[in-house]
Amino acid sequence: MTKPPYVTVVVPTFRERENIPLVVGRLDDLLGDFEWEVVFVDDDSDDGSADVLLDLSRRHPRVRAIRRIGRRGLASACLEGMASSSAEIFAVMDADLQHDETVLPKMIGAFREDPALDLAVGTRYTGGGGVSNWSKRRQFVSKFATLIEKSVLRTPLSDPMSGFFVLRRGLFEETVRHMTGKGFKILLDIVLSTGRELRTREFPYEFKARQHGESKLDVVVGLEYLYLLVDKTLGRLVPVSFVLYVLAGLSGLLLHLLILGVLYRGAGIPFVNAQISATVVAMVSNFLVNNAVTFRTRRLKGVLLAVGLTSYMAICALGAIVNVQSADYLFEHAIPWWFAGAAGALIGAVWNYAVSTQIVWTWLPSMLRKKKS
Ligand code: GDD
Ligand code: MN
């Protein structure tokens, strides 16, 4: 090969010894119009794939192989294949020839025709596409999963689980650091990881039966798929740290109400005094829980813990004043004691979250670190 490739076909392989030479043969027949190369990303298959790959890549200038030792995973294999390439366009295809490789030239050609095209997807569900001899169960699972995905996708795709697609380098560069990189659903990962709507084209094809080897789709793959969806939907709407902060706050609120109830209802202490005491205890508790859980990666220790707690209390004092004032106001206006107490605590919490995150767990540690160095 004299020119750099225009397109790299990335083929993830795990135990596909017999299929690998067939794939190279098919690409040879079909991709004559392009400067192309194929990179097989093999996860140290124990069926002799490595020898086949070594032999092929010595004889064939368009064949490369990446051997990953001690690693597994379809999506990450595809990503590493792309990362190893200098091409403008990346195609992803399975090694088992279940994807209809005769559609590939059209998919790649679409990128020449349309310079703004981001993604070309081989799809099983539109036009002439279909699935030959799939079990009823697998067809149902596939349709169901597709339905969930469609409801969370920005870019409408009729077959978002497709493992047969072509993308422009730019889309890879734009998304690779935001991707989960886990499991089977790399296309879905890409589409969910971009912040914009993509320019796509779909190419119907018939999903064929496997000739050699067996499928690697199993329960773990299913779990990884669920993780991907949760991470990309809930994880994007609310950061995990915020969820933790809210949970820590809720535990503080329970403690607050408990103390308020005991002091005001049980011991007959005046409401305002009971609310002040409950607030102080909840404050210390919130500080400790957040330090241990929410901000565990920048946990304050030793002197910093004492300084942190002091500043946290000082910051929260203002929030606490607002808290007690609002609670007292509500209480005076015949709102039930428990609601007045909780509402006051909540109003104070908004202030606490905003300011303490910035000062106690961000600014303070970095200030002290600077002093030391
Ligand atoms: N490197 C690597 N590591 N490759 C893997 C791994 C792995 O852990 N697991 C599977 N592969 C390779 C296989 O060797 C094959 O080339 C390709 O990934 C697809 O694996 P199959 O086991 O053939 O998957 P399938 O046929 O059940 O699933 C197909 O349909 C899905 C849609 O329902 C694939 O096309 C999927 O990509 C697609 O999402
Ligand atoms: Mn397959």
> Quick one: pLDDT band at residue 139, thresholds 50, 70, 90?
confident
Segment 344-356 mean pLDDT: 79
Q: DSSP 3-state assignment of 7?
A: strand
Give tens-digit pLDDT for 169-185. Answer: 999 999 998 887 776 77
127 has pLDDT over 50: no
What does DSSP say about strands 89-92 and 119-123: parallel, antiparallel, or unpaired?
Answer: unpaired
* Residue scoring higher pLDDT (233 or 165): 165
Q: Which of 72, 96, 80 lies closest to 163, judged by CA?
A: 96
Confidence at residue 246, expressed as pLDDT on a 0 to 100 scale:
74
Which of 94, 205, 212 to mutate for ligand 1's pocket (most ligand atoms within 8 Å of CB)?
Answer: 94
Residue nearest to atom 13 of ligand 1 (CA): 13
129 has pLDDT over 60: no
Confidence at residue 56, expressed as pLDDT on a 0 to 100 scale:
97
* Residue scoring higher pLDDT (278 or 143): 278
Q: What are phi and psi of 117, to 5 degrees?
A: -65, 130
Average pLDDT, the chain: 86
**What's the angle, vertex CA 322, arms to CA 318 and CA 324, rounded to 5?**
110
Residues 6+ positions from 350 with CB-CB distance below 8 Å = 319
* Residue scoring higher pLDDT (115 or 184): 115
- Give the DSSP letter of residue 121: E
Tokens of 217: 């789709």
The residue type at 113: E
Exposed, middle or buried by CB within 10 Å (0-12, 13-18, 19+), for 225? buried
Confidence at residue 94, expressed as pLDDT on a 0 to 100 scale:
95
The residue type at 106: K
109 has pLDDT over 50: yes
Confidence at residue 372, expressed as pLDDT on a 0 to 100 scale:
62
Confidence at residue 192, expressed as pLDDT on a 0 to 100 scale:
81
* Residue scoring higher pLDDT (162 or 53): 53
Give tens-digit pLDDT for 190-237. Answer: 888 887 889 999 999 988 888 888 887 666 666 666 666 666 666 666
Q: Which residue matches tokens 């002439």?
A: 128
Residue nearest to atom 23 of ligand 1 (CA): 215
Ligand 1 nearest-atom number relative to CA 138: 33
Q: What are phi and psi of 203, to 5 degrees?
A: -130, 110
Q: How far is the CA of 14 from the centre of ligand 2 (A)?
A: 11
> Quick one: pLDDT band at residue 131, thresholds 50, 70, 90?
low
Contact 211, 19 (CB under 8 A): yes
Segment 75-81 mean pLDDT: 94
Residue nearest to atom 17 of ligand 1 (CA): 94
Q: How far is the CA of 163 from the centre of ligand 1 (A)?
A: 8
- The Cα 252–Cα 248 span in angstroms is 6
Give tens-digit pLDDT for 237-275. Answer: 655 666 677 788 889 989 999 999 999 999 999 999 999
What does DSSP say about strands 119-123 and 63-67: parallel, antiparallel, or unpaired?
Answer: unpaired
Q: Pick from 9-18, 149-158, 331-340 the range whose average pLDDT is largest.
A: 9-18
Ranges assigned E (strand) in 156-264: 165-168, 200-204, 206-207
368 has pLDDT over 60: yes
Domains of the chain: 7-234 (3.90.550.10), 240-372 (no CATH)
Residues with CB under 6 A from ligand 1: 12-14, 16, 41-43, 72-74, 77, 94-96, 98, 142, 161, 163, 184, 215-217
Give tens-digit pLDDT for 30-66. Answer: 999 999 999 999 999 999 999 999 999 999 999 999 9
Q: Which of 87-101, 139-153, 171-185, 278-292 has the lowest mean pLDDT?
A: 139-153
